[in-house]
């Protein structure tokens, strides 16, 4: 007899609820982590959880633990000292986030913010069981205050304590907090029928400027190249030893709830602590680069990215310098991107001859053995054809460039390129030229 649908679904659910097998089992010693927490097992040890984690109980029941850790001003964090992670008073934060007005009092009390949660599914069922807040002290040191939920009853006291911290903040800084941490916490405040403490607060999410500065061409948006751990290694020179991987953190918390074993949480606290400090360091390094300019960059890709930020802010001279330095020392892919941005910028500024020379620089990078052009290279050929036809009045060069475009165009582009070619030929007073061009535009440039 075949089992009914309900029985089959129950069997599937039982299989899905089986405890996961995690890597590095000897180090984590985690088993049966995803089962429903046992209130009696976890509640029996609530009283000494704070002592074991080096904190104090925020509420009488011991359901919320507060842990403070101080980083001395002269302590190193990769290539930086902790004190140097505090942005200077004239730091150009408005270049990082245009929503922050230049000259505003954003530096008075910056709060750096990060959460660890029970999962990434979202909704009212996701709980931020650990919230870390960091700020700079008067002596240049850095304090991280963490709120750990030893039990769900501690969430409301934690939210009240967070509200007190954020009430005095002049700026909130996160890493991917605009799309995850802050909306999650606003959901938790709403769950308790309370206004969110982050409402109307100036907020900078460092993930987006980090992608503009250090994102690698061709990477997916969520690629490891701009994760906080990757930026620690590549940009800050920080290498964590024995760090708890992010995917393991929810499982450790469920293990704590089931057994009351606070030892598995110590690594999570350390992970969160350094996430908060590294967010401050990434922000400080980005602002330092923007302040110092392209000479402070460690690689041509940084210079090109810096140029895009200056260009977006209307600082044409610094943008041009960044692009020119990236072209001078960068690899071919970096050069192509910097040349394209520079050519568009020069054309927008009315410097048409310089823009044309820059577009030609892209074509000079085309390998002689390749017979086809990329999208960027076709864009350069088109820009040069327009320049020679309408500005330089060099119809012979415009004709050769138009033939190159027409030979490689298909579909709708074929109609446009044919129309351009015919127009130039009418201006030349010659008959249409049949056949493919003899060479790509770098050969024409060499002939000219």
Q: How far apart are CA 221 and CA 279, in angstroms?
A: 19
Quick one: which of 210, 215, 240 has its CA closest to 225?
215
Say if residues 254 and 32 touch (Cβ distance below 8 Å): no
Residue 61, pLDDT score: 79
Q: Give pLDDT tens digits along the chain (448 positions).
A: 455 665 665 555 455 444 444 444 344 434 434 444 455 544 456 778 999 999 999 988 789 999 999 999 999 999 999 999 999 999 999 999 999 998 889 999 999 999 999 986 656 678 999 999 999 999 999 999 999 999 888 999 999 999 999 999 999 999 999 999 999 999 999 999 999 999 999 999 999 999 999 986 544 444 457 899 999 999 999 999 999 999 999 999 999 988 889 999 999 999 999 999 999 999 999 999 999 999 999 999 999 999 999 999 999 999 999 999 999 999 999 999 999 999 999 999 999 999 999 999 999 999 988 889 999 999 999 999 999 999 999 999 999 999 999 998 988 889 999 999 999 999 998 545 444 444 556 544 433 3
Give me the count of residues in the chain. Answer: 448
Say if residues 152 and 159 touch (Cβ distance below 8 Å): no
Beta bridge partners of 77: 80
In the numeric block, which tokens belong to residue 125?
Answer: 């069922």
Q: For residues 219, 223, 227 and 229, what is the CA-based torsion angle, rounded to 10 degrees?
A: -110
Fold designation for 294-447: 1.25.40
Q: How far apart are CA 406 and CA 157, in angstroms?
A: 70
In the numeric block, which tokens belong to residue 148?
Answer: 């750990």
Say if residues 147 and 161 touch (Cβ distance below 8 Å): yes
| CA end-to-end distance (rounded Å), the chain | 86
Residue 13, pLDDT score: 46
Residue 370, pLDDT score: 87
CATH 1.25.40.10 residue ranges in the chain? Answer: 294-447
In the numeric block, which tokens belong to residue 318?
Answer: 């610094």
Place of tokens 């943008």: 319
Residue 448, pLDDT score: 33
* pTM, full prediction: 0.83
Place of tokens 């290694």: 233
Residue 325, pLDDT score: 97
CATH 3.30.420.10 residue ranges in the chain? Answer: 21-292
Quick one: which of 240, 236, 241, 216 has its CA closest to 226?
216
In the numeric block, which tokens belong to residue 25?
Answer: 């089992």
Q: Please tell me the class of the 21-292 domain.
A: alpha beta
Residue 103, pLDDT score: 84
Residue 152, pLDDT score: 85
Say if residues 351 and 335 touch (Cβ distance below 8 Å): no
The alpha-helical segments, DSSP class H, found in 81-128 are 93-96
Q: How far apart are CA 358 and CA 380, in angstroms?
A: 9
Say if residues 28 and 264 touch (Cβ distance below 8 Å): yes
Residue 25, pLDDT score: 39
Distances (CA, A) of 142 to 76, 131, 428: 12, 16, 72
Helices (H) and strands (E) in the chain, counts: 19, 9
Residue 249, pLDDT score: 96
Place of tokens 């970096």: 334
Buried b / exposed e along 120-146 (16+ C-beta atoms within 10 A): eeeeeebbbbbbbbbbbeeebbbebbb
């Amino acid at each position: 007899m075949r089992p009914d649908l309900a029985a089959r679904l129950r069997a599937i659910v039982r299989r899905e609820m089986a405890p996961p097998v995690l890597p590095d089992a000897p180090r984590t010693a985690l088993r049966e982590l995803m089962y429903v927490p046992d209130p009696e097992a976890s509640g029996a040890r609530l009283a000494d959880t704070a002592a074991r984690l080096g904190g104090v109980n925020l509420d009488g029941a011991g359901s919320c633990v507060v842990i403070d850790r101080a980083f001395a001003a002269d302590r190193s964090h990769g290539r930086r000292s902790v004190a140097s992670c505090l942005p200077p008073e004239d730091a150009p934060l408005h270049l990082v986030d245009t929503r922050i007005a230049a000259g505003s009092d954003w530096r008075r009390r910056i709060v750096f913010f990060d959460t660890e949660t029970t999962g990434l599914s979202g909704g009212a069922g996701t709980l931020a069981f650990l919230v870390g807040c960091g700020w700079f002290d008067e002596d240049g040191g850095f304090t991280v205050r963490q709120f750990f939920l030893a039990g769900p009853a501690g969430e409301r006291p934690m939210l009240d304590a967070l509200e007190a911290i954020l009430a005095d903040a002049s700026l909130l800084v996160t890493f991917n907090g605009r799309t995850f941490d802050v909306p999650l916490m606003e959901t938790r405040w709403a769950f308790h029928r309370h206004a969110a403490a982050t409402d109307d607060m100036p907020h900078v999410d460092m993930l987006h400027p980090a992608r503009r500065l250090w994102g690698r061409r061709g990477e997916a948006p969520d690629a490891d190249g701009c994760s906080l751990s990757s930026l620690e290694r590549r940009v800050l020179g920080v290498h964590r030893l024995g760090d708890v991987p992010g995917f393991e953190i929810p499982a450790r918390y469920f293990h704590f709830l089931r057994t009351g074993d606070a030892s598995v949480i110590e690594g999570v606290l350390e992970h969160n602590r350094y996430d908060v400090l590294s967010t401050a360091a990434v922000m400080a390094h980005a602002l330092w680069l923007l302040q110092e300019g392209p000479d402070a960059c460690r690689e041509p890709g940084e210079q090109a990215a810096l140029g895009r930020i200056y260009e977006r802010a209307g600082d044409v001279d610094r943008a041009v310098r960044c692009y020119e330095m990236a072209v001078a020392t960068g690899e071919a892919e970096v050069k192509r991107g910097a040349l394209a941005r520079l050519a568009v910028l020069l054309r927008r500024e009315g410097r048409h001859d310089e823009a044309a020379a820059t577009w030609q620089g892209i074509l000079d990078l085309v390998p002689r053995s390749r017979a086809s052009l990329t999208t960027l290279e076709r864009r350069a050929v088109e820009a040069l054809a327009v320049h020679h036809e309408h500005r330089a009045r060099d119809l012979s060069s415009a004709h050769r460039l138009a033939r190159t475009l027409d030979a490689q165009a298909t579909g709708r582009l074929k109609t446009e390129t044919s129309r351009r070619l015919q127009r130039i030929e009418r201006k030349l007073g010659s008959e249409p030229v049949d056949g493919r061009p003899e060479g790509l535009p770098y050969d024409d440039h060499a002939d000219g």
